[in-house]
Chain A
Amino acid sequence: MMDAKGKVIKYGNNVDTDVIIPARYLNTQDHKELASHCMEDIDKEFVNKVNPGDIMVAGENFGCGSSREHAPIAIKASGISCVIASTFARIFYRNAINIGLPILECPEASAKIEEGDEISIDFNSGTIENHTKNETYKALPFPEFIQNIIAEGGLLNSIKNK
């Protein structure tokens, strides 16, 4: 997996899939169109301020609510290179892995990183470096089973390759 480096855009706890991509836009599957409405209902400025490679950091239960895969798709297509949260809702967690949006669970990083911090991530070791604050955090690594899905290019490829 490619390492990530970018500026942080930060949100709080229980960011739900309805605010990540409101249902009124679920009449399309177009990734760019979905990205153009990403986070619209809690942060109208998101689409203007996000730059390719930026990293989203949030609190507990990120991605709670609906099973819509449009949510991680919208985040990924908006240019976000990784989402770090204290915890993820389980369907969002699976969906992110399945569509190739890197995510990391790290309560310490979630608590200490602030909006605008420059951070970089080494996915192999799960190390998160905060260049703005000169701090280092350690995320929980993916189980081997999930690492294999990612290494094979997502769930469907891993099934086809069997």
Chain B
Amino acid sequence: MGMTMTQKILAAHAGLDSVVAGQLINAKLDMVLANDITGPVSINEFEGAGFDKVFDKSRISLVMDHFAPNKDIKSAEQCKKCRTFAKRFDIDNFYDVGEMGIEHALLPEKGLVCAGEAIIGADSHTCTYGALGAFSTGVGSTDLAAGIATGQAWFKVPSAIRFNLTGKLNKYVSGKDVILHIIGMIGVDGALYRSMEFTGPGVASLTMDDRLCICNMAIEAGGKNGIFHVDDITKEYMKGRVNRDYKVFEADADAEYDEVYDIDLGTIKSTVSFPHLPENTRTIDDVGEVEIDQVVIGSCTNGRISDMKAAADILKGKHVAKGLRAIIIPATQQVYKESIAKGYIDTFIDAGCIVSTPTCGPCLGGHMGILASGERCVATTNRNFVGRMGDTESEVYLASPEVAAASAIAGKICGPERS
């Protein structure tokens, strides 16, 4: 029986010729990742179990992004713990304030993850790197501690859902709309324990930033991982970033899928997830009148350069609605610099937005834009659970940078055509 892309990568990393769905395997890891929230718990576990060696200091990434620059004393202590650990083991990829960016934007940008690799991260959005044709999934801190110590992790080989993409996205529609559309279709547990494999002729029309955004939210459908097949766009992206040999895996022609969905990208409209689950989607035509208090454009989902461009193109020469707070967060230092060079930052500030240093910040209700009770925010982030960005009576509406920027101008949820 044929294997899916994910199964092939897992088989290769387990040293097996083939694997089948449901099989329990031990796989070698190419990169293990933690941040300032999950890292300290991993370090406690690692030290508590008495480990005194890391498996490979060049294959561990520690990124201080969630509550950094430190929002309070406790957060500062957590970063300090990671810093001390990184120094003790001479960790190559320790990213602190000044070098850090949001982890899932930073690792692909730096070429630390690439096609064919197996990656775990103590952060649920680690599934982002599937955009590069890697197997990449989120784990907890104890699994991560074991990964730091041994360079291995156990997995149950997943079955898969195949998304056969055709056509091409319309103007003002981007990767975020594709993944929100899919989550709306299959639900927040529609891909539970399974891979989401994105393939088909439509893939060629999606940028790397679209693909990174789509894979980023595979977890929001319960998916174990999201993955795109590797094409010229992937290879072009990795050129100059990835200085090591990589392997391209392709699904077998007779690979079995639990389900196959055919999606014509040309039919997807701007999509918004209403509170309090990502599956509560409506197209922009059906949003009604929803007045908003805040807009956040950033995060590991939509803080990349094409997201900054999309927002700047809409905000250029305009101003955000009176009384609305618009917070723009480039995901990495590189994205920030490029946004300055291209004039996007000027556009944002002239439009009445503020621009923050890279941080996960408000996405998980950490800092830099917490909501009061009764307030509503349109955010390009990934979760709209109860209390996610602040008070339990506040509301988060998930949308693309295009919709977020247009909504900031209008002071209510609306599509870019109307701004």
Contacts and interface: CB of A to CB of B under 8 A. Distances in A.
Interface of A: 14, 16, 18-19, 22-24, 26-29, 41-42, 60-61, 64-70, 72, 87, 89-91, 94-95, 98-99, 143, 145, 154-157, 159-160
B189 A90 contact: no
B338 interface: no
A65 B124 contact: yes
Contacts of A95: 139-143
Contact of A29 (B44, B138, B365, B387): B44
B308 to A, nearest CB: 25
Given A61-B192, A90-B222, A156-B49, A69 B387 contact: no
Interface of B: 24, 37-38, 40-41, 44-46, 48-51, 66-67, 71-72, 74-75, 78, 121-124, 126, 138-143, 145-146, 149-150, 154, 188-189, 192-193, 219, 222, 224, 277, 364-366, 383, 385-388, 392
Given A67-B38, A87-B192, A159 B150 contact: yes
A67 B124 contact: yes
Contacts of A24: 365-366
B360 to A, nearest CB: 9
B146 A26 contact: no
Nearest to B383: A65
19 contacts: A18-B386, A18-B387, A23-B366, A26-B37, A27-B72, A27-B74, A41-B392, A65-B124, A66-B123, A68-B38, A72-B140, A89-B192, A91-B140, A91-B219, A94-B139, A94-B140, A95-B143, A155-B146, A157-B49
Contacts of A41: 386-387, 392
B127 to A, nearest CB: 10
A87 B187 CA distance: 14
A95 to B, nearest CB: 4
Given A27-B67, A145-B154, 5 more contacts: A68-B38, A72-B140, A90-B193, A156-B46, A159-B150
Contacts, number: 132
Contacts of B40: 29
Q: Give the 4 A-B residue pairs with the shortest CB-CB distance, closest first.
A: A95-B140, A27-B74, A98-B142, A156-B49
Contacts of A154: 142
B200 to A, nearest CB: 26
A66 B139 CA distance: 9
Contact of B145 (A67, A94, A156): A156
A42 B124 CA distance: 22
Given A41-B392, A145-B24, A98 B224 contact: no
A69 B24 contact: no
B124 A91 contact: yes
B365 A68 contact: no
A94 B137 CA distance: 12
A155 B142 contact: yes
Nearest to B122: A67
A87 B222 CA distance: 11
A67 B50 contact: no
A65 B385 contact: yes
